[in-house]
Amino acid sequence: MRLLPFIASAIVTIGLVTVLNTQLSIGTTKSPRLGYFLSPQHGFWKNAEKINSNFDASIVAGELKGNVDVYLDDRLVPHIYADHDEDAYFVQGYLHAKYRLWQMDFQTRVASGRLSEIAGADKLSIDRFFRRLGMVYGAEQTEANINANNPEMKATVDAYTAGVNAYLKQLAPEDLPFEYKLMNYAPELWTPKKTYLFLMFMSYDLTGHSAAADLQLTNTKDFLGYDLFNKLYTNNQDSLDPIIPKGTVYQKPSILPIKPANADSNYLMKTTTLALNVQEAPMPPNKNNGSNNWAVSGSKTKSGRPILCSDPHLGLNLPSLWYEVQITTPTHSTYGASFPGSPAVIIGFNDSLAWGVTNAGRDVLDYYELKFKDSSENEYWFNGAWTSVTKRKEIIKVKDSADVIEDIPMTHWGPAMYDAHYQNPQSKGRNLAVKWTATQSSTGVETFYRLNRAKNYDDYIKAISLWTCPGQNFVMATTSGDIAIKQQGAFVARWEHQGDFIMPGTDTTYDWQGIIPNEENPTIKNPVRGFVSSANQKSTDASYPYYLGTASSFPLYRGISVNKHLIGMSNITPEDMQALQTNNDNVFAATARPALMKYLQVDKLSPDAARMVTEMTNWNLVNDEHSKGITVFKIIWDSVRVAVWGDELAGSPIPLTKPDDFVLLDQMLKDSNWSIADDIRTKDKVENFNDQVNLGVENATKKLLELEKENKLEWSLFKATRVLHLTKIPALSRMNLPIGGGMNIINATTEDHGPSWRMVVHLTDGIEAYGLYPGGQSGNPGSSYYDSFVDYWAAGKYYRLLFLPKEKLKQHERTKWHIQFKTA
Amino acid sequence: MKIIISILLTALLAYAVGIYGNLPWWCFVLTNLLVAIAIPQKSIHSFLVGFISIGLLWTLLAIGIDQGNNHLLSIKVANILPLKGSYVSLIVLTGFIGALVGGLASLTGSFVRSK
């Protein structure tokens, strides 16, 4: 033996293998273990799925009560036929895991504040935020409630969990989803708690906006003073077209929330200036998490049967939040979009009834300011006495680093989210407890379970009456001809402005005085006008006896656009409804452009600015993909906005809430001498709208000339809509999609946000339905089904959804594969 | 002849231990070592045996998978790794990494029985 060469060579070999088996740091990210990642028998190559793969399979599962047949159609949508409901949910769990495992695992990790565990200390601020907000606490409340009181839901979620785990247990290491290999970690077994965490995340996504907005709005009010604040953030929306038509008479409220006597001085007028300590806060949920839904009655359709439409607007991601599925058992037959992570169909239809949801936008999250006795934070002042907290320990594991422990004081209100240990620029050193309906043990999964089985209006009302958070506008239509919409959730009976800002928390004076009874939530069934609709606008006019919240929570113009179109339509077909869902008319600009032109002094414009204004005035007011006029209009409007109120908001060390567009537009329409138009920084001159519009146009022109040079004036090039992979890695995303639409447009597609599932259901016998989402049924970036619907979606096209009984589906030309689940 | 047999045997054993995903990806280091001990050759020849057999094995496996996948995933990965989206570069890198480790493993084995 040549010992020295042997040792030298062995050391080099071991060294190389070690390096190739280690994650190396590249900037703030880490490389995969390169040897493992590139190994064709272990690494990413194993995820490169064969085009034209055969998905036929036979699976033995001892957990099943009977055999289950799954047929996959040409879009890889599974049609599950089971003899027992629980078996169907077992198989749904199995299929979610088979096609979307990494995403389910990742999203529940985010929700439970466990990102640092896989990504390192870099993600600690996100984890701490979710832990302190009470996400895990909320999921635990739900789990305890369902386990104790709801055997049917427990059995459903347990069956789903067993299905996910049956897939996980047979999963070979080399077949792990791509992202695990890239980021070098492994999945863990599913639990019911993860399902509840996922639903908590949806509550956060749809109501968590207040978690940031309430702080920012408080700081904005304090900075401006209440009087100026009231001008810029008015709750009066002159052009509101509410969900429940204006003029509807409401019954007397059963709760009369009483505004505390000292609220004007102690709450609304109060200003505080506290020391700042600046740390990063995670991105709040998108304010535009909204949606459209509507149903037209048979009186307005060609066939005489209702048509229901639903398109939830959410962050556009790959793998998609949605996964299409048909579930057929002896108790029901349902088709629609499901959440990987939860059993049942979330938005869809069965053979008698279709339903859809939009976000209600009501405020269900409030902050209460605490006074702790001392730095131990063991006692806080409450109702005239020092009161003990309980401490909730949240242990955050951090990759390559020591655990971080959050010791969260739990109070009458809920967790003390902000305290001496946790602050962000907007919390400004305050001790703040958060009270949120999402953490109060909702059993939301049951609503969908019941909607999946609902046959008529009464079933629908019963199903949604269980729904607490996030508040939604549930629309429904039946084959028997009923249409209805109801805003449902656990909504706080508020006095005006209650909870818009941080409230005093030293006693119960400012506490919630009750939850509005379900029967008093805004509802309408079979209205004379022949349709029901919602687009996140305020649900009612001012005659509704409860306070709905700040107007900025309720986008105004999409609702106007939907209703305007629906009123004018008759003899409606599903194709007409598809055209409406993808409609790009800009009703905001239709009002705002004449308002701008009213004040614009054209003769004073520079030649370039005049040319841009001509581009804007020649525009057809449609946000088409190739339109340049909309880009010009948008940038001019934004510049005018900054010119009008940029001066009032300037000088704040932290970002303030931006006033809404409708405030400026309503003022431009009625008052040419609005005091806000004056630039308060110019002492010798009083500016008016004429000055500010001309200034805005000139400022916009500078930006527009740059865009023109870069050839980015066309709307879709400027907007650059993308569907981002959950890791935000561009290579796994679809960038720069050719699509129009935008803010305030029915086709609400902005840069990374928009119609995440488009569905049109014609309530004929047997159901005629169309739909798609911007993604694909497979979550595997190495599959041709990963993004297979994206181009079709961007083009505004639809797939006919296959919804058939087993014998017919089996023989359908679009049915491609068969997965048999056999009980052992 | 001996070299050809060594290459085939090395590649075959490496493939065989690669089938079991529970075993680490570098298990072929051990089988390379064993073949190099069992069929003694000059060190440089052993290195080439290991280099060629694993290099070819990984390259051919990668090409086969990539063809069947229409480069869908390889182009994405070649954009994540700094390879400018070139699936050819990614296949070359895959083969080279395998070859280098394979060559060194066989070289190490060759020293056991040489004098």
Instruction: Quick: pLDDT tens for B17-38.
Output: 999 889 999 999 999 999 999 9
Does B89 touch chain A if contact means CB atoms closer than 8 Å?
A: no
pLDDT at A276: 41
- Taking residues A213-226, what's their average pLDDT? 90
pLDDT at A757 over 90: yes
pTM of this prediction?
Answer: 0.95
Pairwise CB contact (< 8 Å): A731 & B22: no
pLDDT at A116: 94
Alpha carbon distance A761, A764 (integer Å): 9
Mean pLDDT of chain A: 94
pLDDT at A282: 59
CA nearest to A795, candidates A656, A648, A653, A625: A625
Q: Measured between beta carbons, which residues in chain A are less than 8 angstroms from residue B21? A: 41-42, 172-175
pLDDT at A268: 83
Instruction: List phi, psi (to 5°) of A436.
Output: -145, 130
pLDDT digits 0-9 by tens, A409-442:
999 999 999 999 998 888 888 999 999 999 887 7
Pairwise CB contact (< 8 Å): A51 & B69: yes
- Taking residues A358-370, what's their average pLDDT? 95
pLDDT at A273: 46
CA nearest to A298, candidates A422, A483, A553: A483
Q: How far is A134 from chain B (nearest CA, A)?
A: 35
Alpha carbon distance B8, B2 (integer Å): 10
In the structure encoding, which two tokens stand for residue A311, read together?
């398109």
| Strand A332-338 with A483-488, pairing | unpaired
Does B83 touch chain A if contact means CB atoms closer than 8 Å?
A: no
pLDDT digits 0-9 by tens, B86-104:
999 999 999 999 999 999 9
- Taking residues A224-234, what's their average pLDDT? 90
Instruction: Cis check for the bond before B40: say yes or no (omega within 30 of 0).
Output: no
Q: Measured between beta carbons, which residues in chain A are less than 8 angstroms from residue B44? A: none
CA distances from A364 to A207, A432, A537, B56 (A): 7, 16, 16, 62
> Given A6, A17, A44, which is nearest B111 (Cβ)?
A6
pLDDT at A572: 98
Does A733 touch chain B if contact means CB atoms closer than 8 Å?
A: no
Pairwise CB contact (< 8 Å): B72 & A13: no
Alpha carbon distance A29, A630 (integer Å): 38
In sequence order, the β-bridge partners of residue A333 are A328
Pairwise CB contact (< 8 Å): B101 & A17: yes
Q: Measured between beta carbons, which residues in chain B are less than 8 angstroms from residue A5? A: 43, 111
pLDDT at A672 over 90: no
DSSP state of A265: I
Residue of B nearest to A47 (CA): B73
> Given A20, A34, A41, which is nearest B61 (Cβ)?
A41
Alpha carbon distance A382, A253 (integer Å): 30
pLDDT digits 0-9 by tens, A128-181:
999 999 999 999 999 999 999 999 999 999 999 999 999 999 999 999 999 999
Alpha carbon distance A184, A35 (integer Å): 12
Whether B50 contacts B36, CB under 8 Å: yes
pLDDT digits 0-9 by tens, A457-513:
999 999 999 999 999 999 999 999 999 999 999 999 999 999 999 999 999 999 999
**What is the band of A64 on the pLDDT scale with cuts at 50, 70, 90?**
very high
Instruction: Cis check for the bond before A755: say yes or no (omega within 30 of 0).
Output: no
Query: Mutating which of A21, A22, A41 best tests the B interface, going by the most B Cβ atoms within 10 A?
Result: A41
Instruction: Cis check for the bond before A470: say yes or no (omega within 30 of 0).
Output: yes
**What is the band of A552 on the pLDDT scale with cuts at 50, 70, 90?**
confident
Poorest-pLDDT segment among A44-53, A230-239, A528-537, A748-757: A230-239
Alpha carbon distance A450, A462 (integer Å): 8
Does B56 touch chain A if contact means CB atoms closer than 8 Å?
A: no
> Given B21, B98, B113, which is nearest A172 (Cβ)?
B21
Instruction: Cis check for the bond before A774: say yes or no (omega within 30 of 0).
Output: no
- Taking residues A357-382, what's their average pLDDT? 96
Which residues have CB under 8 Å from A734's CB, separation 6+? A318, A722, A723, A774, A787, A790
Does B72 touch chain A if contact means CB atoms closer than 8 Å?
A: yes
> If residue A790 lies in a helix (H) or strand (E), which one and from where to where?
helix A790-794
Does B67 touch chain A if contact means CB atoms closer than 8 Å?
A: no
Does A2 touch chain B if contact means CB atoms closer than 8 Å?
A: yes
Q: How far is A129 from chain B (nearest CA, A)?
A: 29
pLDDT at B108: 95
Whether A293 contacts A473, CB under 8 Å: yes
Which residues have CB under 8 Å from B60's CB, separation 6+? none
Alpha carbon distance A346, A206 (integer Å): 15
Q: How far is B5 from chain A (nearest CA, A)?
A: 23
C-alpha torsion sign, points A562, A567, A569, A574: positive
pLDDT at A288 over 70: no
State what percent of residues in chain A have pLDDT above 90. Answer: 86
| Angle, CA of A225, A283 and A441, to the nearest 5° | 95
Query: SS3 for A639?
Result: helix
Domain that holds residue B70: 2-113
- Taking residues A748-761, what's their average pLDDT? 96
Our separate counts of H helices and E strands in chain B read 5, 0
What distance lies between CA A427 and its chain's CA centroid? 24
Q: Measured between beta carbons, which residues in chain B are less than 8 angstroms from residue A786? A: 72
Q: How far is A56 from chain B (nearest CA, A)?
A: 18
Pairwise CB contact (< 8 Å): A182 & B80: yes
Q: A residues 656-675 near B, CB within 8 Å?
A: none
pLDDT at A442: 75
Pairwise CB contact (< 8 Å): B66 & A730: no
Q: A residues 224-253 near B, CB within 8 Å?
A: none
Pairwise CB contact (< 8 Å): B76 & A731: yes
Does A178 touch chain B if contact means CB atoms closer than 8 Å?
A: yes
Alpha carbon distance A132, A395 (integer Å): 11
> Given A9, A36, A47, which is nearest B111 (Cβ)?
A9
pLDDT digits 0-9 by tens, A761-811:
999 999 999 999 999 999 999 999 999 999 999 999 999 999 999 999 999
